Structure 1
Amino acid sequence: MLLCGRLGFCPAPSTCLSSTFIARVLIHKRHRSFYSPGRQFRAAPSPTASPAHPKPRTALPSSRLTGSPRITDQTRLSREIANMTMSASETGTAGNGVAANTVTDVGIVETPKVSDPWTVDKALDTIATGKPVEGSASPVPYFHILERLKTTKREGWKRFGIDRGESISDHMYRMSLMTMLCPPKLAERLDMWKCMKMCLIHDMAELLVGDITPVDGVAKPEKSRREAETMDYITKRLLGNVNDGDVGKGIREVWQEYEDSKTLESHFVHDVDKMELLLQMVEYEKRGQGKMDLGEFAYVKTKIVLPEVQSWAEEVIQEREAFWQGHSHVRGDVGVNGGVPAEKKKLPDGYYWLSQP
């Protein structure tokens, strides 16, 4: 952070973090730092040189001191800056006068809220960075819109208070790495390169459509229409003139193969999709130290088709059972008998796995 060179010369002293910071340092109680215009912060005289007897500090608990570095003036300075940034965010302004949410939430993208009927162009109109250039021979506009996969969160976890969980690209990236560990006998029957591409492509439409879940009230056919329209936009309007449009056509074909779910590769990737969700479910539960029960998501285990992936899923479920041992919890992997309400079970039965064999 750059500080103002001198006090009183800030163009926006009421909102400038630099001016606020300097003012706080000047009035900081006891022997803290003082500001010299145009120079660095200098240490104030030592307590022994002061005629007054400073109030002794309260000692930190030994548990906080053990193995911890001494709190230095630089550490205090960093904490002050951090506190100021948080304070500015709470009041709605940042150091540059820009609305706080553009600073604190710049790395999070919300799904575009548009009026019915949903169209790609309506969704594009909501993008803060502007519409990508269409018809270009350069792939750069496509590269830019892919960023939305990194910043759009997976929605299912939000119902459980996980607002800043995994992004869409987080999910797809781990899936692609998981395919590399496909059991050899199954891998011999698969086009592994296609499987990895399918993992990285299968949720690409969500960069505009968002991660629509069964509780969102969007029918499966409507969800499919939005996603197909988005993939046409990406592969034709953005990539149609890039490398003669061949890459765009290839992406569209792989995405459609996944949606149709008729090939062994698509079955495998569908299973890996569910397997990745199971992993994330257990990881969130463990990180939450058992304070949240995500067991209803375990129902996806019952929809895994290939024995090789079923084996992986069973291992994760056993890991989860060991974690919850002795405590009541939902077991979605056994359906309504495990505590999943019947009405919730019906939603995924007719939604996510409509095309699954």
Structure 2
Amino acid sequence: MSPPVATFNGKDFFDPGVVAAPKTSGPWSVDKVLATVQPSPPVEGTDSPVPFFHLLERLKTNKREGWRRFGIERGESISDHMYRMSLMSMFCPPELAAKIDLGKCMKMCLVHDMAESIVGDITPVDGVPKPEKSRREAETMDYIAHRLLGKVHGGVTGREIRAIWQEYEDSQTLDSLFVHDIDKMELLCQMVEYEKRCGKDLDLGEFAYVATKMVLPETKKWADEVLAERDAFWKGKDHVVHGELGVNGGVQDKKHEQQDAYYSREA
């Protein structure tokens, strides 16, 4: 893989702040990705969490890929997304907070995309089937829990991280449903923020689709507020948004099928 390059004062130089998810040939595996990590992959099997701390840096340097297709090259990172999710969860309405483990939900927000440190951010239009995406992410979480953290404090924290991630993936508990909704809510906020910053030159309406997949009335109320905010913004612009304002955004049927498969609760 070519080293990341930036230009300053007309000269190209190695940019240590750019860490892209590598492309591998043949069947995907954690070890194939680790072989590309520079300067070296994290040290495994120690009783120190420091190698894991270094791995987490990849969540700070990897960008959320969905925005790249619209020319947003310096958009939010994966960890940016998870950080705001965790803060959003703190504002869980009291009637819902009484039914969930809010502390665990905050952890789930910070853990749910952790596998992307190795897998990268796979989006609905990338052509990776949901079962394959799930396989890659599960293999990565096993690597983190056992090979990186298995000997750290007896492996307790590693097992907790792995269990919280699995609960999110299974989407069977109220805690996990809340975090799935928060995941979508954070995306909706970012969508509107990017659009407003770009004026009438950027229509990200296809991402508004995720609001249709939110399930809890408390979080759907938040989504309705953000979409109403978006509708008011576009109605004030000399611009036509195709389809139903705030939801379809001119998205083709094929893309909706990809989104349906991606957001399906069945692996």
Query: 1:349–1:197: structure 2 CA closer, same or farther, 3 Å change rule?
Result: same
- Secondary structure of 1:138's counterpart equals coil
Give the Cα–Cα distance (whole angstroms) in 2 for the partners of residues 129 and 240 of structure 1.
23
> 1:158–1:85: structure 2 CA closer, same or farther, 3 Å change rule?
closer
Contact 1:285 1:294 (C-alpha < 8 Å) held by counterparts: yes
Which of 188, 191, 194 in structure 2 is aligned with 1:281? 191
Give yes or no for contact 1:239–1:247 (8 Å, CA) kept in 2.
yes
User: CA offsets, 1:29-70, max 9 Å, x none?
Assistant: xxxxxxxxxxxxxxxxxxxxxxxxxxxxxxxxxxxxxxxxxx
Aligned to 1:164: 74
| More divergent stretch after superposition (342-351 vs 228-237) | 342-351
Q: What is residue 256 of structure 2 aligned with on the other side?
A: 345
| 1:241 paired to 2:151 | yes
Contact between 2:177 and 2:215, CA under 8 Å: does it hold in 1? yes
1:85 matches 2:85: no
Match of 1:138 among 19, 30, 48: 48
CA distance in 1, matches of 2:201, 2:167: 39
Whether contact under 8 Å (1:176, 1:199) holds in the other structure is yes
Query: What are the within-5 Å matches in structure 2 for residues 7-18 of structure 1?
Result: none
Could you tell me how far apart the structure 2 residues matched to 1:334 and 1:278 are?
11
Q: RMSD value over aligned CA atoms?
A: 1.5
Q: TM-score, normalised by structure 2?
A: 0.93
What is the SS of the residue equivalent to 2:48?
coil
Preserved CA contact (<8 Å) 1:108 1:153:
no
Q: Which amino acid aligns with 1:169?
A: S
Unmatched runs of 5 consecutive residues or more in structure 2: 1-6
Q: Higher RCO, 1 or 2 (CA under 8 Å, sep at least 6)?
A: 2
Give the corresponding residue for 1:325. Answer: 235
The answer to whether structure 1 residue 206 and structure 2 residue 129 are counterparts is: no
SS at match of 1:153: coil
Structure 1: tracts of 5 or more residues without a match: 1-83, 90-99
Task: Give the direction of change, closer, same or farther, for the CA distance of 1:140–1:332 in structure 2 (3 Å limit).
Answer: farther
1:217 matched to 2:127? The reply is yes
1:182-221 C-alpha deviation (Å, 9 max, x unpaired): 0000000010000000000000000010000122111110
Q: Is the contact between residue 297 and residue 332 of structure 1 (CA under 8 Å) also seen in structure 2?
A: no
Alignment equivalent of 2:30, drawn from 120, 123, 143: 120
Structure of higher CA gyration radius: 1
- 1:28 aligns with none
User: CA-to-partner distance for each residue in 1:222-242, whole Å, 9 max, x for gaps?
Assistant: 100000000000010000000
Give the superposition deviation at 1:86.
Answer: 2.5
Please give the secondary structure, in 1, of the residue aligned with 2:26: coil
- Distance in 1 (CA, whole Å) between partners of 2:263 and 2:152 is 33
TM-score by length of 1: 0.70
Q: What SS is found at the alignment partner of 2:69?
A: helix
Moved over 3 A (4+): 330-335
Instruction: Provide the identity percentage.
Output: 64
Q: Which amino acid aligns with 1:88?
A: K
Task: Map 1:1-357; keep pairs closer than 5 Å.
Answer: 85-89=8-12, 100=13, 102-103=14-15, 106-326=16-236, 327-330=239-242, 331=244, 333-335=246-248, 339-355=250-266
